[in-house]
Amino acid sequence: MRPLSPLSTNLEGMPTEKSYLAGDVITGYVRSLVVNEPDVLRRLREETALHPDAVMQIPADQGLLFEVLLGLVGAKKTLEVGVFTGYSSTVTALALPPDGHVFACDVSDEFTSVARRYWAEAGVSDKITLRLGPAAETLKQLLAEGHGASLDFAFIDADKEAYDTYYELTLPLIRPGGLIVLDNMLRHGEVVNPNVSEPGSLALRKLNEKLARDTRVRAVLLPVIDGVTLAWKKPG
Ligand SMILES: C[S@@+](CC[C@H](N)C(=O)[O-])C[C@H]1O[C@@H](n2cnc3c(N)ncnc32)[C@H](O)[C@@H]1O
């Protein structure tokens, strides 16, 4: 277990684009309490922090949230749309039982080459199938391959304009009582900006309104990190 580190010096305590909701001090405090992050995940986070697109990575406290959610739904078979350098997929695979599995979708061989390296280091390569290609096609393939209503958990964290498509293609793959988690649903606050014209923010605002009324799920948008929506597929 790592000791609590001073807020001013640890990586978690650095001001990040994702700390706008709680402020840097509270965000740093919350992240400083993530004390038993496996060493492999800490190294992955530190390597990714040097990447020009580092802000795309989920933070350590979100990884811990996933660990809790995966445990609560008893997850064995999961899906990830948007792998990047692999933080969320590695957290997920580590949290699953030995016979658990992650279907991981991304378009970038370059980003996911980092992920593959860390999956190997974490000893979870056998628990993850990477499908390189547009996620919408992969999701259709998974359904055609017979994975319908069999996944316990899905995490959607890729191109924002396609979130609704990913949601609609993921829902039939999820078992009743399973969970879909959608990231960046506050879009750095842009979803409440009346003058916003950026297509991703407009798409997520529309999806938030749709999810609120969607009778197939019970969805709640948690105002943590950059807005994390939990869409729980109604059992039966
Ligand atoms: C926000 S990052 C994912 C971050 C990751 N979940 C993590 O914890 O580090 C978004 C990823 O979506 C991928 N992506 C973008 N468009 C995609 C598409 N059409 N299909 C699949 N993946 C896509 C990008 O290559 C990028 O790696």
Residue 165 placed within a domain: yes
Which residues are paired to 105 by β-bridges?
Answer: 81, 131
Q: Determine the Cα–Cα distance for residues 214 and 85; give it in Å rounded to an integer.
A: 32
- Taking only the tens place, the pLDDT of each residue in 132-183 is 999 999 999 999 999 999 999 999 999 999 999 999 999 999 999 999 999 9
pTM of the entire structure? 0.94
Between the alpha carbon of residue 221 and those of residues 89, 185, 204, the distances in Å are 22, 7, 12
Q: Determine the Cα–Cα distance for residues 44 and 49; give it in Å rounded to an integer.
A: 9
* Number of folded domains that form the chain: 1
Residue 104 placed within a domain: yes
Ligand 1 pocket list (CB less than 6 A)? 56-58, 82-85, 87-88, 105-108, 111, 134-135, 157-159
Look at residue 15 in the predicted model and tell me its pLDDT.
42
Which atom of ligand 1 approaches the CA of 111 most closely? Answer: 27
CATH classification of the domain holding 75: 3.40.50.150
Residue 143 placed within a domain: yes
Helix (H, G, I), strand (E, B) or coil at 236: coil
User: For residue 172, how far is its CA from the centre of ligand 1 (angstroms)?
Assistant: 21
Of 149, 221, 147, which Cα lies nearest the Cα of 182? 221
Ligand 1 atom 23: residue of nearest CA:
106
